[in-house]
Amino acid sequence: MKAHINGIDLAYTDQGRGTPLVFVHAFPLGKAMWAPQVQALSARCRVITVDLRGHGESEAPLWRYTMDQFADDLKGLLDHLAIRQAVMAGLSMGGYVLFAFYRKFPDRVKGLVLADTRAREDSEEGRAGRFAMAQLAYKNGASAIADAMLPKLLSQASLHGRPELVQQVRAIITATQVSGIAGDLMGMAERLDSVPLLKAIACPTLVIVGEQDTATPPADARLMADAIPGARLAIIPAAAHLANLEQPEAFNRAVDSFLESVE
């Protein structure tokens, strides 16, 4: 489905009934990464997934992208769907977007799931890496970005033993337009440090991390879980950065029991 929000068409899915649960994807993926969550969790709640601007089937304007703009788009989608409050779940860049969303619209958040993400801003080297990757996308396209990102997204066991999963992730990445990839990278490079926000997060929060995540390691997850009042932490064994795709059952169980506590 599509909704016209903040001047562009955004693609989303909306399945199931009950508590709204909105999934926000990672860089440089799209809503398709949430297929195992839609399948399992839409039986118990209303699951919404969205392609952020620049991704999947949403429009990808060649313009400045920021975490605040993504947050405004999400708020526009909630308004479009007449949802006052939702449980918001973001993985990696999706988590960065949710920090921006919480800063701007805390009363729209019933609960937060922060998966394989971090509150810290980029280091100087991190920022330099973003600009190098944007150049790579511009010169060589999304398939070069898939080559660079796959080893950061999946565990060694998946990279070598689950070709269909590797292919699935590659296909989602290569469906992302270069304007979106470059826009994300610049937006992530200039995002705010969210560490000072953590102690002010007043809604129920679940932090999830793949045990083998090297992109946003368990230490980052512990920092968030320790600082957010009352937050829970779930560490997913045998998973790296895309824990929701590598170990969907364990990931879904953690989200399911969190939803029970929020409801």
Min dist CB 241 to ligand MLT, Å, is: 6
- Residue with Cβ nearer ligand MLT (201 or 215): 215
Name which position in 5, 215, 228, 262 contacts ligand MLT (CB under 6 A). Answer: 215
Q: How many residues bind ligand MLT (CB under 6 A)?
A: 7
Q: Write the single-letter amino acid at 222.
A: R
> 160: helix, coil or strand?
helix
Site string for ligand MLT, 77-96 (x = CB under 6 A): ---------------xx---
What is the smallest separation between the CB atom of 78 and ligand MLT, expressed in angstroms?
22
Q: Which amino acid is at 16?
A: G
Q: Is 21 exposed, middle or buried (0-12, 13-18, 19+ CB in 10 A)?
A: buried
Q: How many other C-beta atoms are found inside a 10 Å radius of the C-beta of residue 61?
A: 15
Burial class (CB in 10 A: 0-12, 13-18, 19+), 127: middle
Residue with tokens 């992302």: 176
The least CB distance from residue 116 to ligand MLT, in Å, is 7
User: How far apart, in whole angstroms, are the C-alpha atoms of residue 6 and residue 206?
Assistant: 30
Closest to ligand MLT by CB, 193 or 263:
193
The β-bridge partners of 15 are: 47
Residue 32 DSSP label: G
- Rounded to a whole number of angstroms, the minimum distance from the CB of residue 127 to ligand MLT is 11
176 binds ligand MLT, rule: CB under 6 A: no
In the complex with ligand MLT, which residue's Cβ is closer, 72 or 116? 116
**CA angle centred on 194, ends 188 and 199, rounded to 5°:** 160
Distance CA 246, CA 55 (A): 21
Two tokens at 41?
């969790």
Least distance from C-beta 90 to ligand MLT, angstroms?
9
Least distance between ligand MLT and beta carbon 92 (Å) = 3
Identify which of residues 154 and 262 has a Cβ nearer to ligand MLT in the complex: 154
Q: Find out whether 208 and 236 touch, Cβ atoms under 8 Å.
A: yes
Q: Whose Cβ is closer to ligand MLT: residue 83's or residue 195's?
A: 195
Q: Which residue is nearest to ligand MLT (CB)?
A: 92
Min dist. Cβ of residue 93 to ligand MLT (A):
3
Q: Which of residues 24-63 bind ligand MLT (CB under 6 A)?
A: 26-27
Site residues (vs ligand MLT, CB under 6 A): 26-27, 92-93, 188, 215, 241
